[in-house]
Amino acid sequence: MKLSRYSVVFCGLCLVVACSSSPGRLVTGTNTTDADDGVTAGAENVDSSAIGGVDGIGGVADSVDEPGNADGTAGDTTSGADNTNETTGEATTEPPVCTPGEFRCKNTETLMVCGEDGQWRLKHNCPAPYECDAEAGTCTKQSCTPEGTGTAVGDIVKDVTYDLVGGGTYNLHDACAAGEATIIIKVDTWCYYCGEYAPLWQLMADDYSQNGTRFLLLVGRDGQQAPATMQIAEAYKATHGYNSNWMVASDPAHQKIESVIFSPAGGVPNLAVLGPDMRIAYVDPADGGLLSAPFEAASSTTGYYPPQTCEGFCQTGLSTGWCYCNEGCLEYGDCCPDACNACGVNCN
C-alpha cells in the first residue's frame, strides 16, 4: 500500500510532511520555527544567496515562496513550544528526503536541487518561455537547449538573436516553442544566383510557411563584399520582393550564423534546415547539393509533404513537391506527373 502522506510525532510536537505520489513533481513544504516564540511559519522563504544568487537566465534573482502544506494552506501555529529535543536540549533536524545533488521540478517554472542536508532547495526560477528540466538540471525551452550541443548536422543549434528588417527581433529557438522547422538562407548582394533563385524560394515559402516551416533570409555582404548593414538588408528585401512570409536580417559577413552552424559548402547561396527540436537537419554539402534537398529535409521534420504538381512552377523548373517542370527532367527522370500537360514539356 502506498501512502501519500504520513506523520512523525516527536514529544507532542507534530511535524506534517506531505509527499507527492507522482514522480517528477515536488510538493513538499518545510515548516520553520521561530526560536523566540515557537511559532511555526506557514511558508518557507528560500534566499537566493544560499543557492548561488542569479540563475543566469533572464538575469532574475532566485527566490521562491513554498507553501507550508501540500494543500496550499498556511502551516499550523504551535504556541509556547520550541523545536528542540526535550531530553537532550538539542535542536532536532529534518530527516533526509532526497539525495544531495539531485534535481526535481516543483512545477514548470521552478527547478529544485537537493542540498547537502538532504533537503530540497531552490536552484532556478525559469522565466517564460523556458521551463524546468530536471534531467538537464537547468531551464530549457520546451526541451530545446538554448546553449546548443554543437554546430554539425544532428546537433541542437545554439540560440542566437537577430534584429529584423522592419523592426522586431527573432531568436532561432522561437520556432521551438511553436514546434516549427526553419529554413535559413544565406545570401550576399553581389551574388548573382542568390537573386536568380529568389522567385523559387518565395514560391516555396508561400507553401511551406503555411504548413509548419519558417524562412529566415540572412544578408551577409554588400556589392563590394563588405559586411552588410541593416540598410543593405532592407534594400535587398525590397529589390527581390520578399514578402511577409520571410524574416530578413543582416548578418555582417555571416559571422553569427557561421558561429552556430557549420556548412562544408561555404559561399552563397547557402541553405540550412533546423527541425522543430532545433536540431540541425540539413546543411548544403560541399558540392552544393540539389535544389530540392533542403525542402525535403524540412518535410521530413514537419511531416508536411507538398503535392507533386507543376501548377505555378513552370517558369522555375522545381516544384514544391521536389519534382521538376522543365525539359531537363526528362534526362534525370524526375519530372512532375503533370509536367507534360501543365508546362508543355515534350514527353514524347
319 plus 335 within the same structural domain: yes
* C-alpha cell of residue 298: 524540412
Does residue 155 belong to any structural domain of this protein? Answer: no
192 plus 296 within the same structural domain: yes
35 plus 101 within the same structural domain: yes
CATH of the domain at 258: 3.40.30.10
Residues 6+ apart with CB under 8 A from 226: none
> In this model, does residue 227 exceed pLDDT 80?
yes
> In this model, does residue 196 exceed pLDDT 80?
yes
Contact 260, 152 (CB under 8 A): no
291 plus 314 within the same structural domain: no
Does residue 154 belong to any structural domain of this protein? Answer: no
* C-alpha cell of residue 275: 527541425
127 plus 166 within the same structural domain: no
Strands 213-219 and 181-187 turn out to be: parallel
Range of lowest pLDDT (57-71, 135-149, 228-242): 57-71
Does residue 179 belong to any structural domain of this protein? Answer: yes
Does residue 288 belong to any structural domain of this protein? Answer: yes
Tell me, what's the pLDDT at 143?
60
Which band of pLDDT confidence, cut at 50, 70 and 90, is reported for residue 119? very high
Tell me, what's the pLDDT at 129?
61
The mean pLDDT of the chain is 77
Residue from 176, 185, 132, 137 nearest 158 by CA? 176
Over pLDDT 90: what percentage of the chain? 52
Placement of cell 530549457 in the chain: 140
Last residue of a domain, one of 105, 140, 175: 140
Most confident of 139-148, 170-179, 191-200: 191-200
* C-alpha cell of residue 148: 546548443
Selected residue with higher pLDDT from 76 and 122? 122
Tell me, what's the pLDDT at 136?
78
Does residue 146 belong to any structural domain of this protein? Answer: no
pLDDT tens digits for range 130-151: 778 888 787 766 567 889 999 9
- Residue 249 phi, psi (nearest 5): -145, 160
Which band of pLDDT confidence, cut at 50, 70 and 90, is reported for residue 327? confident
pLDDT tens digits for range 257-309: 999 999 999 899 999 999 998 999 999 998 888 889 999 999 999 899 999 99
Q: Would you put residue 11 in left (φ > 0), alpha (ψ -120 to 50) or beta?
A: left
What residue numbers bound the domain in which 129 lies? Answer: 5-140
335 plus 318 within the same structural domain: yes
45 plus 69 within the same structural domain: yes
Does residue 92 belong to any structural domain of this protein? Answer: yes
* C-alpha cell of residue 276: 522543430
Which band of pLDDT confidence, cut at 50, 70 and 90, is reported for residue 348? confident
What is the arithmetic mean of pLDDT over 116-120? Answer: 93
* C-alpha cell of residue 179: 514546434
Residues 6+ apart with CB under 8 A from 147: 158, 159
Tell me, what's the pLDDT at 17?
31
pTM over 0.75: no
Tell me, what's the pLDDT at 141?
60
168 plus 298 within the same structural domain: yes
Residue from 65, 75, 67 nearest 34 by CA? 75
299 plus 165 within the same structural domain: yes
* C-alpha cell of residue 23: 514522480
Tell me, what's the pLDDT at 115?
92
Residues 6+ apart with CB under 8 A from 91: 83, 84, 85
Dump the DSSP string for 9-35.
Answer: EETTEEEEEE--SSTT-------EE-T
Over pLDDT 70: what percentage of the chain? 71
39 plus 108 within the same structural domain: yes
194 plus 317 within the same structural domain: no
253 plus 135 within the same structural domain: no
Does residue 297 belong to any structural domain of this protein? Answer: yes
Does residue 156 belong to any structural domain of this protein? Answer: no
Identify the DSSP state of 110.
Answer: E
Collapsing DSSP to helix, strand or coil, 80 comes out as coil
What is the arithmetic mean of pLDDT over 303-319? Answer: 90
Indicate the number of domains in the chain: 3
Range of lowest pLDDT (73-82, 148-157, 322-331): 73-82
Collapsing DSSP to helix, strand or coil, 123 comes out as strand
Tell me, what's the pLDDT at 199?
93
What is the arithmetic mean of pLDDT over 68-96? Answer: 50
What is the arithmetic mean of pLDDT over 26-33? Answer: 33
Tell me, what's the pLDDT at 92?
61
> In this model, does residue 175 exceed pLDDT 70?
yes
Which band of pLDDT confidence, cut at 50, 70 and 90, is reported for residue 127? low
> In this model, does residue 31 exceed pLDDT 60?
no
